[in-house]
Amino acid sequence: MGGPAIEIQGLEKTFTGHLSIGRIHALRGVDLSVPRGVIYGFLGPNGAGKTTTLKVLTGLLRPDRGTVRLLGAPAGKRDTRAHIGFLPETPYFYDYLTGAELLRFFGRLHGLGARTLDEKVPALLKLVGLEGRGNLPLRKYSKGMLQRAGLAQALLNDPELVILDEPMTGLDPIGRREIRDLILSLRTQGKTVFFSSHILADAEMICDEVAILVGGKVVQQGSLEKLLGSDVRFWDVALAGCPEETRGWDGAELITKSGDQMLLRVELEGELQSLLDRARGAGARVVSVAPHKASLEDLFLSHMPGGDA
């Protein structure tokens, strides 16, 4: 199967309420292309249509219009699903099973034999940080542990494409870092990871490419480098020992002042050097100079209502 890992063209999905009252246009013509071997962030505010898109990818929903191909094959087909791993948003599992039983059950649905599962289940439990917890019933798992079990079941079939719906939800900072590391290791293994999230910091840290979905349409997609650029947008300069009468310097915006300490912001590189020279000349000490590039959050917010896009 060749081509991009995910290729979506003109995807539309509308939900109709009871008695055909209240139509919700969840997806209004989504176009998306996800290359193979990358970590791809599918970002958007709540209600943007991220989960709906993921459910179409995994065959849980049928599209009204458009084409969806995964690994070069039509989405939703059984053969296609054999090559993907999926973690739904807030995974719900059979709480009467233990973690190990859950993985064995899903392994059987993938057609894995008992001997393969004997090796695979403990290895996966270890990989997601649930080593020694496999015999505990899922009803005793915390939210974070359930998320890890969900990740383990998504990797049972050694998938080429891993689709994760909000994988960081419910995890503490340590857990989030572990899952980030796990996602990075999947890319190292040559897998494509497509994950939806509204936690932009996580996405910015690990994604090669992102798409931003707003109101059921992709408003921007591409590599982070292309979307954010590498130019510094402004510098924050922290000074100490400033003369008492100083209220700031031309070309620099005063952010805050406390005693003899000041935080100033300059947008042009030439003004930065001038500011530093003048501050030193006035007897002030430069504590720090922090360059700020455009962040994913800036980009994301620029597409929100009231943003400056």
Q: Does 97 contact another protein by CB under 8 A?
A: yes
Report the nearest approach of another protein to the CB of residue 218 (Å). Answer: 22
Among 178, 181, 212, 208, smallest CA distance to 192 is for: 208
Residue of 8, 38, 112, 266 interacting with another protein (CB under 8 A): 112
Residue of 55, 133, 148, 191 interacting with another protein (CB under 8 A): 55
d(CA 117, CA 99): 13
Residue 119-158 contact track with another protein, rule CB under 8 A, x = bound: -------------------------------x--x----x
Report the nearest approach of another protein to the CB of residue 109 (Å). Answer: 4
Structure tokens at 255: 């952010």
- Is there a contact between 283 and 186 (Cβ–Cβ < 8 Å)? no
Stretch that binds another protein, among 3-11, 94-102, 173-181, 226-234 (CB under 8 A): 94-102
Q: Which residue has the tokens 């403990």?
A: 122
- Is there a contact between 246 and 262 (Cβ–Cβ < 8 Å)? yes
Among 139, 166, 162, smallest CA distance to 152 is for: 162
Q: Does 22 contact another protein by CB under 8 A?
A: no
Report the nearest approach of another protein to the CB of residue 115 (Å). Answer: 6
What value, to the nearest 5°, has the Cα angle with vertex 68 and ends 62 and 72? Answer: 135
- Terminal CA-to-CA distance of the chain, rounded, Å? 38
Report the nearest approach of another protein to the CB of residue 111 (Å). Answer: 4
d(CA 56, CA 121): 28
d(CA 94, CA 105): 10
Residue of 113, 281, 305, 306 interacting with another protein (CB under 8 A): 113
CA dihedral 168, 172, 174, 180 (to 10 degrees): 10
Residue of 23, 47, 65, 109 interacting with another protein (CB under 8 A): 109
Residue of 65, 72, 74, 108 interacting with another protein (CB under 8 A): 108
Q: Does 58 contact another protein by CB under 8 A?
A: yes
Q: Does 92 contact another protein by CB under 8 A?
A: yes
Sheet of 73-74, strands arranged across:
23-34, 6-16, 65-70, 73-74
Q: Does 105 contact another protein by CB under 8 A?
A: yes
Identity of the residue, 160 or 209, whose beta carbon is nearer to another protein in the bound complex: 160
- Is there a contact between 43 and 203 (Cβ–Cβ < 8 Å)? yes
Q: Does 61 contact another protein by CB under 8 A?
A: yes
- Is there a contact between 149 and 138 (Cβ–Cβ < 8 Å)? yes
Among 75, 70, 90, 65, smallest CA distance to 13 is for: 65
Report the nearest approach of another protein to the CB of residue 240 (Å). Answer: 56
Report the nearest approach of another protein to the CB of residue 228 (Å). Answer: 32
Report how many residues bind another protein under the rule CB under 8 A.
35
Q: Does 187 contact another protein by CB under 8 A?
A: no
Q: Which residues bind another protein (CB under 8 A)?
A: 15, 55, 58-62, 78-79, 81-82, 84, 86, 88, 91-94, 96-97, 101, 105-106, 108-113, 115-117, 150, 153, 158
